Chain A
Amino acid sequence: MIVSYEIPLLLLVLVTAGGAILVKDLMSSVLLLGSYSFFLSLAWAWLGAVDVAFVEAVVGAGLATVLFLLTLFGTNPKDTRLRRPPLSLATLIIFPLLGFLLLYAASDLPVYLDPNSPASVHISPTYLEQSYQDTHTPNVVTSVLMDYRSLDTMVETVVIFAAGIACALLLRRDAS
Chain B
Amino acid sequence: MMHPHDSIIVQTLGRFLIPVVQIFGLYVLFFGQYGPGGGFVGGVILGTGMILSVLIFGHDASRSQLANKVLHVDGVGMLIYAGVGGLCMIGGGEFLNYSNLEIPGLETASRRSLGIVLTQVGVAVDVAVTVVSIVFSLSAEEIAEDSANG
Contact = CB atoms under 8 A, between A and B. Distances in A.
Interface of A: 50-51, 53-55, 58-59, 62-63, 66-67, 70-71, 73-76, 133-139, 141-143, 145-147, 150-151, 153-154, 157-158, 160-161, 163-165, 167-168, 170-174
A152 B110 CA distance: 22
B119 A150 contact: yes
Is the contact region of chain A dominated by helix, strand, or loop, or is it mixed? helix
A173 B140 contact: yes
Interface stretch (B3-11, B12-20, B128-136): B128-136
24 contacts: A53-B36, A54-B36, A55-B40, A55-B41, A59-B44, A62-B44, A62-B48, A66-B51, A67-B134, A71-B138, A136-B112, A137-B112, A138-B33, A139-B38, A142-B33, A142-B120, A143-B116, A146-B116, A150-B85, A157-B122, A160-B127, A160-B130, A171-B138, A173-B144
B142 A73 contact: yes
Contacts of A151: 95-96
Interface in B104-150: 109-110, 112-113, 115-116, 119-120, 122-123, 126-127, 129-131, 133-135, 137-142, 144-145, 149
A154 B96 contact: yes
Contact of A137 (B45, B116, B144): B116
A171 B137 contact: yes
Is the contact region of chain B dominated by helix, strand, or loop, or is it mixed? helix
B138 A58 contact: no
B141 A50 contact: no
Interface size band for B: 35 or more
B32 A139 contact: yes
A136 B117 CA distance: 11
